Amino acid sequence: MIEELIFIRPWWLAGVLPVIVLGVLWARRRMAASHWESKIDPALLEVLLEPGSKGGFKKLAWLVAIALAVATIGLAGPAWYKLPQPVEQKRDALVIVFDLSLSMLARDLRPSRLVRARQKITDVLRLRTEGYTALVAYAGDAHTVAPLTDDVRTIENLLASLSPEMMPVLGSNLESALQTSKTLFENARIQQGRLLLVTDGIDEVSDAGALCERNYPLSILGVGTGGGAYIPLDFINQPGQVLRTQSGDPITARLDSSRLADVADNCHGRYRQLGLGDDDIIELLGTPLPSEDETEEVERDFDTWADMGYLAGVLLIPLLLLGFRRGLFAVLVIGILPAPAQANLWDDLWQRADQQAHTALNQGSPDIASTLFEDQNWRAVAQYRAGDYVSAAKSFSGLDDAEAFYNQGNSLARNGEYQAALNAYDKMLNTIPDHEDALFNRDLVQRLFEEQESKQKDSESEGDQGSDPQDQSHAQQADDRQRQDQQGGQQDQPPEQEPSEAGQSQAQSDEQQSDSEEGESNRDEHQDAMEQWLRRVPDDPGGLLRRKFQYETNQRLRRGDYSNRETEKIW
């Protein structure tokens, strides 16, 4: 709604009256300057000229004058509301350090500390509308889940797959996590940034104190309660069991808020215990940095008026079309013709084809995304999700890497090409022999392939019997005719014998129905097995992260980084 109308460039308004006057004078001079009008008698001129030509020219002159006036008003910059306009983009950096030690499985917070911590980190990511964010996970060692990036959606997708059981080394090594975080800042050449530690406890206060810097304040979000809870062992298939000490006593994981608060204070940060609202994370994300000079207040003072002068151009479009009447029908034809399926001029103005494809894929339109992706791997992923397994397998076959072989095997298996799928899985396992998903899927497809071969052999053996089915059909027809004759001659017999034949017929029908239902049940089981066990193309990044963490751990083992840490506790 228009509450206040101003003109950003008001000096242009001085041209409104002159352009109208010029338009009128031009029309009068055009009409008076005609050579024929000065030489021919007016009575004869009316006969020679077409009726209405003078009136049409007068209308055109007024339209030109009005168009010039509208254009002049548009140049003046009408505006009636303001837009917040920051003076500069904040280069804010945040590294989230996520504790994935076994104590995060405790259930003093429902459903568990781990789940509540994930939810809270998700809230943090959704509050990050600008700046760069990274995620580091740690237990007995630290691993980078995502480096500093402005794409928080990617981090949110990775977050759901993080859990303590995927960490290669058990324990709670905060020192390694802080060193990894500092390396992320250094690699991004960021001189200051915030650290947000999401944890339920710190074993060694010195681990944090040795790495505290004013330019990188450490704020802590405490997860858990002072009363604590036992640590369940459900993740290792021991439901109902809890983690115990060597003497057999159950371990209770408690939140020591006072210790965490002291660490945060010594590291120039803040401490809050995990709550239900956003007040806790808003306070932690507001931890001051050394060079902040109330930048947000300056940004609020520089709201700018929204220039609506472009609307004048919209109003002038009909007048411009009248000025190009000969081309008007061509414009209408172009506007009526449907746009190609892969071309969207409006979207092309704002996004590249790959960006449009990613948007379509995230919005649940993989069929559209498959036509837009230029990257062959992503195009194959979109084809897979759209159910076009033939095209997906063909696209994956053009890539020469282990993950492409694995994804090609999945596509072929979903299309029922089990032998080709086994070959693709073998290529994958030749590169990565311990790939868990590939091993599992190969075993499943091998069983399905063997069952398919068995069914084919059975059908071939039945076909070898030659004319037996036809002979059986003729015999059955003869028996049916004989039974009808017998029934016709036995109508005078007691009716107790008729239900016997009807019962046999019903039994045969029930048996056939049972066989049919059993066959459908078997097919349903196979379909369910395929849907339940055949891992999908990179939907769940858990397997990739697990292998990444294990690879990094193996590298550190070769360097001897764990040689003096055998006595650390595992939770």
Do residues 184 and 148 lie in contact, with contact meaning Cβ atoms separated by under 8 Å? yes
Q: Within this chain, do residues 204 and 116 fall inside the same structural domain, yes or no?
A: yes
Do residues 416 and 432 lie in contact, with contact meaning Cβ atoms separated by under 8 Å? no
175 within domain boundaries: yes
Predicted confidence pLDDT, tens digits, the chain (571 residues): 455 788 888 888 887 778 777 766 766 665 554 555 566 666 766 666 555 444 455 666 677 777 778 888 888 888 887 766 555 556 789 999 999 999 999 999 999 999 999 999 999 999 998 889 999 999 989 999 999 998 888 898 889 889 999 999 998 999 999 999 999 999 988 989 999 999 999 988 887 877 889 999 999 999 999 999 999 988 777 788 999 988 889 999 999 999 999 999 999 999 999 998 999 999 999 999 987 644 434 444 456 777 778 788 788 777 666 655 545 444 444 444 444 444 455 555 556 777 777 777 777 788 888 888 888 888 888 888 888 889 988 988 888 877 888 888 888 988 889 899 899 989 888 888 877 778 888 888 888 888 888 878 777 666 555 444 444 444 444 444 444 443 443 333 333 333 333 344 444 444 545 455 455 555 555 555 555 555 444 455 677 888 889 989 998 888 887 655 554 678 8
Q: Within this chain, do residues 211 and 112 fall inside the same structural domain, yes or no?
A: yes
Strand locations in 9-89 (E)? 78-79, 82-83
Which pLDDT does position 329 carry in this prediction?
45
| Cα dihedral: 332, 338, 340, 345 (round 10) | 50
Q: Within this chain, do residues 172 and 114 fall inside the same structural domain, yes or no?
A: yes
Domain CATH code at residue 222: 3.40.50.410
Q: Within this chain, do residues 202 and 312 fall inside the same structural domain, yes or no?
A: no
Do residues 540 and 162 lie in contact, with contact meaning Cβ atoms separated by under 8 Å? no
Name the residue range of residue 52's domain. 1-84+303-337
Please report where in the chains the tokens 């369910």 appear, as a residue: 528
539 within domain boundaries: no
CB within 8 A of 137, min separation 6: which ones?
98, 100, 143, 145, 162, 167
Q: Within this chain, do residues 172 and 280 fall inside the same structural domain, yes or no?
A: yes
Which pLDDT does position 15 carry in this prediction?
77
166 within domain boundaries: yes
The DSSP result for 426-493, as a single string, is HHHHHH-TT-HHHHHHHHHHHHHHHHHHHHHHHHHHHHTTTTHHHHHHHHHHHHHHHHHHHHHHTTTS
Q: Within this chain, do residues 14 and 101 fall inside the same structural domain, yes or no?
A: no
Q: What is the C-alpha to C-alpha distance for residues 194 and 213, in angstroms, rounded to an integer? A: 10
H helices, E strands: number in the chain: 24, 12
> What pTM does this model have?
0.49
Q: Within this chain, do residues 63 and 132 fall inside the same structural domain, yes or no?
A: no
Q: Within this chain, do residues 78 and 114 fall inside the same structural domain, yes or no?
A: no
The three-state (H, E, C) secondary structure of 300-344, written as one string: HHCCEECCCCHHHHHHHHHHHHHHCHHHHHHHHHHHHCCCCCCCC
**SS3 at position 570:** coil
Q: What is the C-alpha to C-alpha distance for residues 268 and 377, in angstroms, rounded to an integer? A: 45
| Cα dihedral: 389, 391, 395, 401 (round 10) | 20
Which pLDDT does position 274 carry in this prediction?
95
- In the chain, the amino acid numbered 396 is F
Which pLDDT does position 307 carry in this prediction?
79
97, burial (CB in 10 Å: exposed 0-12, middle 13-18, buried 19+): buried
Q: What is the C-alpha to C-alpha distance for residues 565 and 232, in angstroms, rounded to an integer? A: 24
**How many domains is the chain partitioned into structurally?**
3
118 within domain boundaries: yes
Q: Within this chain, do residues 140 and 257 fall inside the same structural domain, yes or no?
A: yes
Do residues 545 and 144 lie in contact, with contact meaning Cβ atoms separated by under 8 Å? no
Residue where one domain finishes, among candidates 428, 456, 484: 456
Which pLDDT does position 482 carry in this prediction?
40
352 within domain boundaries: yes
8, burial (CB in 10 Å: exposed 0-12, middle 13-18, buried 19+): middle
Q: What is the C-alpha to C-alpha distance for residues 217 and 289, in angstroms, rounded to an integer? A: 7
Residue where one domain finishes, among candidates 440, 456, 472: 456
Please report where in the chains the tokens 């993740």 appear, as a residue: 235
Please report where in the chains the tokens 């001051």 appear, as a residue: 288
Domain CATH code at residue 351: 1.25.40.10
Which pLDDT does position 176 carry in this prediction?
92
55 within domain boundaries: yes
Residue where one domain finishes, among candidates 436, 456, 476: 456
270 within domain boundaries: yes
285 within domain boundaries: yes
**SS3 at position 272:** strand
Please report where in the chains the tokens 């013709």 appear, as a residue: 337
CB within 8 A of 241, min separation 6: which ones?
232, 233
Please report where in the chains the tokens 């020219």 appear, as a residue: 57
Q: Is the peptide bond before 111 cis (omega within 30 degrees of 0)?
A: yes
Determine phi and psi for 353, rounding to 5 degrees: -60, -40
H or E element at residue 220? strand 218-222
Q: Within this chain, do residues 229 and 152 fall inside the same structural domain, yes or no?
A: yes
Q: Within this chain, do residues 287 and 216 fall inside the same structural domain, yes or no?
A: yes
Q: Within this chain, do residues 392 and 285 fall inside the same structural domain, yes or no?
A: no
Which pLDDT does position 238 carry in this prediction?
79
